[in-house]
Amino acid sequence: MLVKRLMPKYKLLIEYDGKDFIGWQRQDNGASIQSSIEKAVKKFSKEAITVFGAGRTDSGVHARGQVAHFELINNFSLDSIRDGINQHLRPLPIAILSAECVDNDFHARFSAKQRVYEYHIISRRSPLTFQKNQAWIVHKKLNINKMIEAASYFEGKHDFNGFRSIDCQSVSSTKTIDKCKVKYENEFIQVEIAAQSFLHSQVRIIVGTLVEVGKEKINSLDIKNIIKSRDRTKAGITAPAEGLYLKEVKY
C-alpha cells in the first residue's frame, strides 16, 4: 500500500508597504503581495506554489504582521526559507520576518483566532513628508475624548451592515469586535481594532466614522443608533487605505 508523503508546510511572518500594490490577493490588473511572494518562492525553491494569507488586505494597505503559509515538496532550513525568499523579493518593499514549520492542519486564514488592525492618523495643518502614504493626514483638530468614547460603542457583537462596502460579499454582516481603542500622543492618533474577522472595508469605515466624531459632525452617543440602523449612509466616510496596517494575527 502506498502511503502519501505529507509535504513540509511553512508559516511566514510578513511585513510590507502596500502603497504600490493592488492588495494581497493575486489579480490580473497589477502586482499583488501574494503573487510577488509566490514568484520569489519559485525562484528560490524551483517549485511553483500557492501562498495562502491570513488577511486579504486591500490596495494601499500595509502590514506589520501578516501571516501566510505554503507547502513545498523539498525540505529547507527555516533560515534558508526566510533569506532565500527575501533575496528574490528585493527591491520590493516586502520582507519575510520569520519562517517556521507548522502542522499539516494549519491554515493561515482559517486557523486564525483574531486579527488586529492599526490605523494611523496625523492631525495637523502642515502636509506630511516622511509619513506620506503611511498615515491619514487630517487638517483639523479632533476631539480625541469624543473619539475615545465613540470607539467603545463598537465593541461587542453587532450587525455591522452599515459599516461595510457595497462590494462586501459576506453572507452575514454580524461580527464581534473584541477591541476598539483610540490612543494619541500630540498630533499622532492610533486606532486599534481586533476581531476574528471583518467585513470588507469595515475597519476603514469605523475609522472614518470616528474621525467624523472627532470633527464633531457625528455625536459620539449616536454611534449605537447608527449601528442599529444598519444604514451605510448614516456612518462616516471610508478612511483612506494608506493609514491601515494589519498589525498581528493570533492563533
Residues carrying an active site annotation: 58
The one-character DSSP state at 149 is H
Check: CB of residue 22 under 8 Å from CB of residue 30: yes
The grid cell for 213 is 466624531
Phi, psi dihedral angles at 65 (to 5 degrees): -145, 45
Check: CB of residue 246 under 8 Å from CB of residue 66: yes
Alpha carbon 215 to its chain centroid, in Å, reads: 25
The grid cell for 108 is 493561515
The residue written with cell numbers 480625541 in the block is 144
Check: CB of residue 211 under 8 Å from CB of residue 140: no
Helix residue ranges per DSSP H, the chain = 33-45, 78-89, 144-152, 202-214, 223-229
State whether residue 86 is helix, strand or coil: helix
Start-to-end CA span in the chain (Å):
36
Check: CB of residue 167 under 8 Å from CB of residue 79: no
The grid cell for 238 is 471610508
